[in-house]
Amino acid sequence: MIEGVKHIVAVASGKGGVGKSTVTANLALAMAAEGYRVGLLDADIYGPSQAQMLGIAEGVRPEQAGENRFKPLEAHGIQAMSMAFMVDVTEPMVWRGPMVSGAFQQLLNQTVWDDVDFLFIDMPPGTGDIQLTLAQKVPVSGAVIVTTPQDIALLDARKGIEMFRKVNVPVLGVVENMSLHVCSNCGHSEPIFGQGGGERIAAQYGTTLLGQLPLTLAIREQSDGGRPTVVSEPDGEVAQTFRSVARAVAQGVSQQDGDGPSISFGD
């Protein structure tokens, strides 16, 4: 197990653009609001976004804690670590897969997590190097899959679920993002990306639809502004949905044996 961490939850999607990082940030903050000690690791080495979402200014660096060890930064009551804290975020990371996997392992293992109940890992999209490294090297208690309702997103979400199943990581459930758009002027609601997709994929794989989130301007603005919805509007409907998802994740993890499966395929 990772020192200072009780449970690790991967938040993943088969494809980009489904709002996975926004969901991860809000889910982590919702879990903290439920009274748990929470960490958030941004594992998207090429395109880290959690620093901006958590309102951590560009150029802020973590404190060293001994040789090759770093303290996570704190934001809104949670501990956070990201590649964005280590490099100039305007410079592209032109790295091959092994370098990316190595950077991910360093962020995870060289961060001095302080008694974290749940460490959420914001995974990059796809089923590549980072995902395989996670499965090989990290004892993961469970995974949350983020999708949108349209068929092309669901196709990729299925790949994400299948991947975690192949490496014996329990899929705790599915979060359907952008499930309904409500017009801010007239209040008319419309499922512009289709409807029922999250329910169908959850039923197909025998897992749970953890929650459905609307497509709203406020969620995007709050995340871009460094104060995600759970801290911007803690009593609002969206924040309450995230709190409900957080409770379901905590319950799902508690139902797993011990601290979750430890997978090893060798190097």
Report d(CA 96, CA 85) in Å as an integer.
20
Cα 45 to Cα 41, 84, 91, 103, 145, distances in angstroms? 11, 8, 12, 8, 19
Confidence tier at 263 by pLDDT (50, 70, 90): very low
Handedness of CA 195, 18, 81, 137 (dihedral sign): positive
**Pairing of the two strands 181-182 and 189-190:** antiparallel
Residue 82 has a pLDDT of 93
Q: Which of 112, 127, 115 is nearest to 167 (CA)?
A: 127
Q: What is the pLDDT of residues 214-228, one digit of tens each?
A: 988 899 999 999 999
More confident residue, 18 or 7: 7
pLDDT of 91 higher than 80: no
Report d(CA 238, CA 31) in Å as an integer.
14
Residue 233 has a pLDDT of 96
Q: Looking at residues 234-254, what average pLDDT do you find? A: 96
pTM above 0.85, yes or no: yes
Q: CA angle 210-211-217, nearest 5°?
A: 150
Q: What is the pLDDT of residues 155-178, one digit of tens each?
A: 888 888 998 988 889 999 999 999
Domains within the chain, CATH numbers bracketed: 5-254 (3.40.50.300)
